[in-house]
Amino acid sequence: MGGSGKGDVIVDTNELRFIEGHARLQVRMAGGDTVAEFQNLEGPRFLTKYLVGKPIEMAPMVASRICGLCYTAHSINAAEAIERALGIEVSKEVRELRNVLYLANNLRSHVMHLLYLTLPSIKGVISVLRLRDKDLYEAGTRLLTKSTELIEVWGGRSVHVPNVVVGGFGAVMNGRQLVSSVHELEGLMNDARKFADYAIELDLPELERYRPLGSLRNPGHYPTYAEDASMVLNDGSLLTSDEYYDSITEVTKYYSTSKHAYFRNSELTVGALSRVILNRRHLKPEAKSFAERVEWRMNPFLIIKAQAVEVVHYMEELIAAGQRLGDIMVEPSKEGAASGVNCSASQGEIPDCQGTGRGFFVAEAPRGALCHACEVENGKIKSYKVYTPTAVNSKSIELDAAEFVKKFRPLGVEKMRYILEDMTRAYDPCLSCAVSLDIY
Amino acid sequence: MRLAFYALTSCEGCLTTLITNLGPNVEVLWKMFDIDYFKLVREPVGGTRIPKADIAFVEGAVVTDRDRRTLTEIRKNSSFVVALGTCASSGNIAYTASRDVDFEAKHLRDLEISPAEPLSSLVAVDFELSGCPVSAEEFTEALLRLINSIEPIQPDFSVCYECKSKGNPCLLDAKKVCLGPLAMGGCGAACPTVGSACYSCRGPAMEADLKAYLLTLEKKGIGKEKALMMLRMFTGKKAKELLKDGR
């Protein structure tokens, strides 16, 4: 990659192993200062650019392709952003089912990250398949298979779900059909407990650094997907989702294929750790008791434990949702059924829509607050923006890396390299997601 | 037998699909084969070097110079190269979306980014497993054939075939644009089954007849502009070929 930076490289991770996408972390001395560069090496796919000029109904389908792990979050956020732009109201039932899909998606993503990507390196094995604790691998695999199956039943396919459309759902969703698949989750609660227990007992490096944390707040609930949520920071301040969106600036980095997203011109850490620190009183009972076993500090390694707590929480939420689902029946969005100011949706198609407006939506995707924003003009997408949690966290990753090298340089390059790699991985970065804020 | 799994520029949804949808069978694969490269599953043998493999499965489109170098190495070191998914086989959305980007812009040049291409634009590809994402069943079938020295096959039917056998009402009859007649099947008609149009994410069917399709649209009183736009979306470079033949 061209445009190499100035200064002597102290630590270079080379291509990071066990992460989603391709990235590299370099820490160098520049002008007497230790600076880190979190380099996205993933090529852009120009997905948001593609959406410009396209009919609005295509947004959820194209946005889904941003990520192979949190596609459901992207397609739901896209549908919501478009609906908001056009003033399309969806029913309470649609929201309830979107929430369930969101939970299943976050559960799947967390289990995948913890089991396949995080544990091997921390336990010093080459693969999760070489883990000494066979039961753990089997428990994790069962959770992964089940959460994938839930997404398939509700979304119409296990990856890149076609059933999430503007206006609601493409096909009739009968709550009763879904109850049985949720009931089966109860049988996997022990697997979730085992999994969380294992992660919470892990011995992880201490790397505390004060920084602003951000998480959505959904009054009375632990935040995931909500109709209207505000952003809470660790200084106690509360921002509406508009204010949060307006606080973000895009910063181009000469060393990265994606822009970084700065919050108030600086860093913000979003994700599981921020959610747990800022909202843990709203965790479901078992998840809360797991959370009580950890001393929560601003140490990125604790994201691993926060994700483990959330695995239990998502299971409990899904099981609780299952008890409500029995009475739900969501018709496919019909013409007129989801009537808005300008347009009406019919199974995701919005015929002859001449609507104009701006819309955006924020929800807690697996890796943190995910924001989709769009402008619609005469029924066509005029602009589309995706602020992913990885783009927001990039600055924190860099500051953590620089701080770590400053403090622990005597450890030597080899040791620092491994710890830096584990630290970056703990953030659960997704470079395929981040590159949707591309630099063309 | 040595297998290797790579991802170039992509969402890594195909590799993830294999892991989550094979479930406990990932372990069976692990025991049956020497898997020397699979970034999401194991620490690569030989670090960043591309190892020798009997079969290499490659997800993603070629966008960066890094992708080019990696793919060239993969081809050199692998006896059989399978394009895994639509990005690898046709360039996917990125192919069309990157045609009108100014790649002479300084930062794109500095970062060595070029218009997206499928694998076959650069190297010889031995087999293509299409789909956005791929199907774990088709992957398994192709692998079983390959290890038994039988040529793997692609579905020789269109999405309509599967859609009809599921008894779904035809979207074209409802005057909605649907690419089912042109699209390669094997997905179980996932999208039309939930009432959404087929966008041909698996590329053109073997029997795809664009002229006949456009005639059908005309007969049903559906405009062709949207259909052509949809066809260029996933089908990428293959749409270009199809459109050339169809006119």
* Averages of pLDDT over each 10 residues, chain B, 247 residues: 97 96 94 95 90 97 97 98 97 94 89 95 97 96 96 95 95 94 95 93 92 95 93 91 71
The CA distance from B113 to B115, in Å, is: 7
Among the partner residues A45, A69, A141, nearest to B93 by beta-carbon distance:
A45
Minimal Cα–Cα distance from B206 to chain A, Å?
24
pLDDT averaged over every residue in chain A:
91
Rg over CA atoms, chain A: 21
Q: Is A412 part of any domain?
A: no
B234 and B113 inside one domain: no
- CATH number of the domain at B94, please: 3.40.50.700
- CATH number of the domain enclosing A377: 1.10.645.10
- Whether residue A310 is predicted with pLDDT greater than 70 in this model: the reply is yes
Domain co-membership, B24 together with B140 = yes
Residues B189 and B218 in one domain: yes
| Domain membership flag for residue B153 | no
Q: Please report the DSSP string for A169-228 in residue order.
A: ESS-EEHHHHHHHHHHHHTTHHHHHHHHHHHHT-----------BEEEEBTTB--SS-SS
Query: Does the residue B132 lie in any domain?
Result: yes
Same domain, B44 and B89: yes
Q: Does B29 touch chain A (CB under 8 A)?
A: no
Domain boundary among B147, B175, B204: B147
Note the pLDDT of residue B75.
Answer: 98
Beta carbons of B16 and A69 less than 8 Å apart: yes
Q: Which helix (H) or strand (E) holds A382?
A: strand A380-387
pLDDT per residue over A118-149, tens digit each? 999 999 999 999 999 999 999 999 999 999 99
List pLDDT tens digits, range A396-415. 999 999 999 999 999 999 99
A413 lies in some domain: no
- Which chain B residues are closer than 8 Å to A62 by Cβ? 93, 233
- Give domain status of residue B154, yes or no: no
Instruction: With respect to residue A163, please indicate whether it lies within any of the assigned structural domains.
Output: yes
* Number of domains present in the structure of chain A: 1
Phi, psi of B54, deg, nearest 5: -80, -45
Provide the angle, in degrees to the nearest 10, between the axes of the packed helices B210-220 and B236-246.
Answer: 80
In a domain, A20, yes or no: no
Mean pLDDT of A157-171: 90
B179 shares a domain with B143: no
Residues within 8 A of B (CB atoms), A 197-256 only: 252, 254, 256
Look at A347 and B195 and tell me if their CB atoms are within 8 Å.
yes
Q: Which of B147, B174, B195 is the last residue of a domain?
A: B147
Q: Is residue A416 part of a domain?
A: no
Under the banding of pLDDT at 50, 70 and 90, the label for residue A344 is: low
> Within this chain, do residues B109 and B193 fall inside the same structural domain, yes or no?
no
Could you say which residues from 135 to 174 on chain B have a Cβ atom under 8 Å away from some Cβ of chain A? none
Strands A173-174 vs A329-330: parallel, antiparallel or unpaired: antiparallel
Overall domain count for chain B: 2
Name the token pair of A21: 């996408």
Q: What type of residue sits at position A184?
A: E
In a domain, B92, yes or no: yes
Query: Which SS3 state, helix, strand or coil, does residue A377 take?
Result: strand
Residues B141 and B107 in one domain: yes
Q: Which amino acid is at B33?
A: F
Residue B174: CB atoms within 10 A of its CB come to 14
Per-position b or e across A310-322, b if 16+ CB within 10 A of its CB: bbbbbbbbbbebb
Structural domain of residue A291, as residue ranges? 51-396
Give φ, ψ of B41 to 5 degrees: -115, -30
State which residues form the domain around B10.
2-147
Beta-carbon separation of B196 and A68 below 8 A: no
Angle between helices A92-112 and A134-155 (to 10 degrees): 150
Give the H/E segment covering residue A369.
strand A368-377
Query: Residues near B1 by Cβ (< 8 Å), separated by ≥ 6?
Result: B33, B34, B54, B55, B147
- Mapped onto helix, strand or coil, the DSSP state of residue A69 is coil
Statement: residue A339 has pLDDT above 60: no
Residue predicted with more confidence, A356 or A2:
A356
Considering only CB atoms, B20 lies closest to which of A126, A158, A349, namely A158
Q: Are B125 and B60 in contact (CB under 8 A)?
A: no
pLDDT digits (tens, 9 = 90+) for B155-198: 999 999 999 999 999 999 999 999 999 999 999 999 999 989 99
| pLDDT of A335 strictly over 90 | no
Are residues B37 and B86 both part of a single domain? yes
Cα separation of B199 and B231, whole Å? Answer: 7
Distances from the Cα of A144 to the Cα of B31, B41, B78, B140, B230, angstroms: 20, 14, 31, 19, 33
- Rounded to 5 degrees, φ, ψ at B57 are -105, 125
Would you say residue A88 has pLDDT above 50? yes
Q: Of the candidates A223, A267, A218, A227, which has an alpha carbon nearest to the alpha carbon of residue A247?
A: A267
Which of B19, B65, B98 lies nearest to residue A116, judging by beta carbons? B19
* Helix (H/G/I), strand (E/B), else coil: A355: coil
Cross-chain CB nearest to B9 (options A42, A159, A256): A42
| A 254-293 near B (Cβ less than 8 A) | 254, 256-257
| Alpha-carbon separation of residue A166 from A51, A103, A351, A433 (angstroms) | 14, 19, 12, 21
B109/B172 same-domain check: no
Chain B interface includes A294 (CB < 8 A)? no
Q: What angle do CA A60, A62, A66 make, to 5 degrees?
A: 105
Strand pairing report for B2-7 and B53-59:
parallel
pLDDT at A346: 62
Cα gap A189→A182, rounded to integer Å: 11
CA nearest A124 in B: which residue?
B43
Same domain, B191 and B71: no
Domain boundary among B95, B122, B147: B147
Is residue A189 within 8 A of residue A315, CB to CB? The reply is: yes
Are B127 and B167 in the same domain? no
Query: Does any domain span residue A248?
Result: yes
Single-letter amino acid code for the residue at A127: S
Q: Tell me the chain B residues in contact with residue A61 when contact means C-beta distances shorter than 8 Å.
A: 196, 199
- B166 with B70, same domain? no
In a domain, A18, yes or no: no
Contact between chains at A112 and B20 (C-beta distance less than 8 A):
yes
Cβ-Cβ contacts under 8 Å, A65 against chain B: 11, 13, 92-93, 132
- Residue A124 in any domain: the answer is yes
Per-residue pLDDT band for A337 (boundaries 50, 70, 90) equals: very low
**In this complex, is the C-beta atom of B19 within 8 Å of any C-beta atom belonging to chain A?**
yes
Cβ pairs A/B, distance under 8 A: 195
Q: Report the chain B residue with the minimal C-alpha distance to residue A432.
A: B11
Confirm whether B242 is domain-assigned. yes
Contact of B229 with chain A, judged by CB distance below 8 Å, is answered with: yes
3-state secondary structure B66-132: HHHHHHHHHHHHEEEEEEECHHHHHCHHHHHHCCCCCCCCHHHHHCCEEEEECHHHCCCCCEEECCC
